[in-house]
Structure 1
């Protein structure tokens, strides 16, 4: 959520593209996330259990590096730059997408799977909400802090969430010359702060992987069922 929403602001307010083009420009993120989630899912099912830790290290490293590089994006950045950076970040996100839940489930006994899965889904939904709230707060606070860079008559339009609401090509095209450059600079600074914030969370995830342990060896469901039936026959 963090990446998708604020890349859209970058595309429309800074690069000056239409909403339709902004959606199209997110294609590398969507495609890379799907591809890497498949790769991660296949790898974690075929490779030793220790791969889960390496997978998460790689995923958070890719996200940290990509988000850190997002801070260099400006109005003059080439399309190839944000495409490559999107692939790096979405690749890390994709590796986590298909493997995070199995990694969590691997730490518990089979009889706890229902409760663990329900808790995981709740926490993920909770994180999605804050994944939009936290960057919005960072963005708005950065805009408010740097309003001195734009003319006095525009500050009321941009403060208190106004910059987020008005992040569109139409709004930017209503200004010219120095004024437009000042507003562009304001958006670039605010977006840069949101990318720093996102990178901080990715680095936190990278460090927390140190606490991860390989999952417990699992017993196939059919084997468990047959064993239980055999025990019941002996009791009978």
Structure 2
């Protein structure tokens, strides 16, 4: 199935990309994916320093993380839809360019307003990168072969998520670098990714009249943004059960209901509702939301537990996440290789969800005296489960939809996983703050609880007298363990969802080749 230069656009190349060409293109995709994911997590250990230097308020502390995650989540469906209409290569380079601009502005920001604006630009770029990288992979590689590469990609995603606090901690603790490099570190890697993709990525461009559903895009973005803003502010800016909660939740749901109505009536919807007729797509979407809530909601607060309850520095706190990274890296890569070799994939989804649930339950037993070896074992178990599950959910969905809907299906899963993560971080963060406040009030009196637990800042342990220090450490340890106890049934629901997915043999041809076959079949019918 070869094409001549005369009959295809310059980007097309000839036929299926060779193994070497695929690996070269993947190197650019993986570099871009890593820095996009890193942007969401690298600031975790740097936030207190950033807020102090820029004279930011407690609200800004939360929003430095939330604005980037919100922009990334809300724009994923739009990037996915554009990938079905325009040049994937051009779009992925555009998303990387936006990320570079946002990173430069953030790294040079002199006030919190500039920093927050730059985080929105970063988020839009990162949303494009996270959605398009998976779409480009599906276009280049048959699902049967995709397991091998998706395993590596899943490892990159996981390492970027978990290694962010480690890299951020090292940068903050290094006097000649500082917090600004948490943003600037992504710039050279993003530029490298643009150059690599320009030289190595060769995909056919499908030229057709494009009709972007702008109303659908606006309503989806507005609805999701409203719910994410609510979940990030509820619990500390206003009560969970309050007028503001009712207004924002009802408003967000109404906007999303209008979006569904629009999507069901336009010829080119951002999220084609018909893809949910596929049981596999529906169940993998549900599982992706639950994985996002459990994974992001639980692990984001481990760094705070390491620093507050165990008294570790930002750098050491980051190093302590390595067992989880290693578990994720090994399981994701090995599962991908085995899927490619044997063609079976459901067993890894089920095993991954089960192991993730066990990891959550083990971490729900931690306290201020838990030893590092035992903690490392628990984290490795959680990482192993996530590695087998996360990327293979995308593989299952991509294998089940027509080639012309690969972009939409992939972006839907990425979108819902990110949204689950954003809501998980916000909601469980509020639970953590309220629980710490309650525990400290109980043991030290109302004044201590009001000042110690209701914020997202890590207390200055060095300034606390020994008796108070012990109470603070125990309060954060207890609250963190309870987050994992909440995460365990959420992970169990993900296991239930994947149990009902029907295993379908993996396609032997790439997304682009399937698209050609589908187009030829359609022509023959007419």
Note if 1:87 corresponds to 2:380. yes
CA distance in 2, matches of 1:24, 1:93: 19
1:13 maps to what in 2? 308
Note if 1:59 corresponds to 2:352. yes
Residue 126 (structure 1) aligned to one of 404, 410, 419? 419
Shift in Å, 1:180: 2.1
Does the CA-based 8 Å contact 1:66-1:88 persist in structure 2? yes
Deviations along 1:122-172, one digit per CA (max 9) or x if unpaired, are 222222312311220221232233331223431221243x2x3124xxx22
2:299 maps to what in 1? 4
1:47 maps to what in 2? 342
Residue 165 (structure 1) aligned to one of 431, 453, 457? 457
Q: 1:143 to 1:111 in 2, by over 3 A?
A: same
Q: Give 3-state SS (helix, strand or coil) of 2:400's partner.
A: coil
2:478 maps to what in 1? 189
Shift in Å, 1:102: 0.6
TM-score (ref. length: structure 2): 0.40
Larger RCO (CA under 8 A, 6+ residues apart) = 1
Greater CA deviation, 26-35 or 81-90?
Answer: 26-35
Greater CA deviation, 133-142 or 86-95?
Answer: 133-142
Does the CA-based 8 Å contact 1:44-1:99 persist in structure 2? no
Residue 38 (structure 1) aligned to one of 312, 330, 333? 333
Q: Give 3-state SS (helix, strand or coil) of 1:184's partner.
A: helix
Greater CA deviation, 73-82 or 150-159?
Answer: 150-159
Residue 443 (structure 2) aligned to one of 123, 138, 149? 149
Q: CA RMSD in A?
A: 2.6
Shift in Å, 1:40: 1.8
Shift in Å, 1:214: 0.8
Does the CA-based 8 Å contact 1:2-1:131 persist in structure 2? yes
CA distance in 2, matches of 1:119, 1:227: 22
Shift in Å, 1:45: 1.9
Note if 1:115 corresponds to 2:408. yes
CA distance in 2, matches of 1:227, 1:204: 36
- Structure 2, unmatched stretches of 5+, are 1-295
Q: 1:67 to 1:142 in 2, by over 3 A?
A: same
Q: 1:7 to 1:132 in 2, by over 3 A?
A: same
CA distance in 2, matches of 1:16, 1:159: 17
TM-score (ref. length: structure 1): 0.84
Q: 1:181 to 1:65 in 2, by over 3 A?
A: same
Residue 392 (structure 2) aligned to one of 91, 96, 99? 99
1:178 maps to what in 2? 467
Does the CA-based 8 Å contact 2:368-2:473 persist in structure 1? yes
CA distance in 1, matches of 2:424, 2:516: 41
Size of the aligned set, in residue pairs, is 227
Greater CA deviation, 137-146 or 206-215?
Answer: 137-146
Does the CA-based 8 Å contact 1:69-1:85 persist in structure 2? yes
Does the CA-based 8 Å contact 2:310-2:473 persist in structure 1? no
2:70 maps to what in 1? none
Q: Give 3-state SS (helix, strand or coil) of 1:165's partner.
A: coil
Give the structure with the larger helix fraction: 1
CA distance in 2, matches of 1:13, 1:230: 62
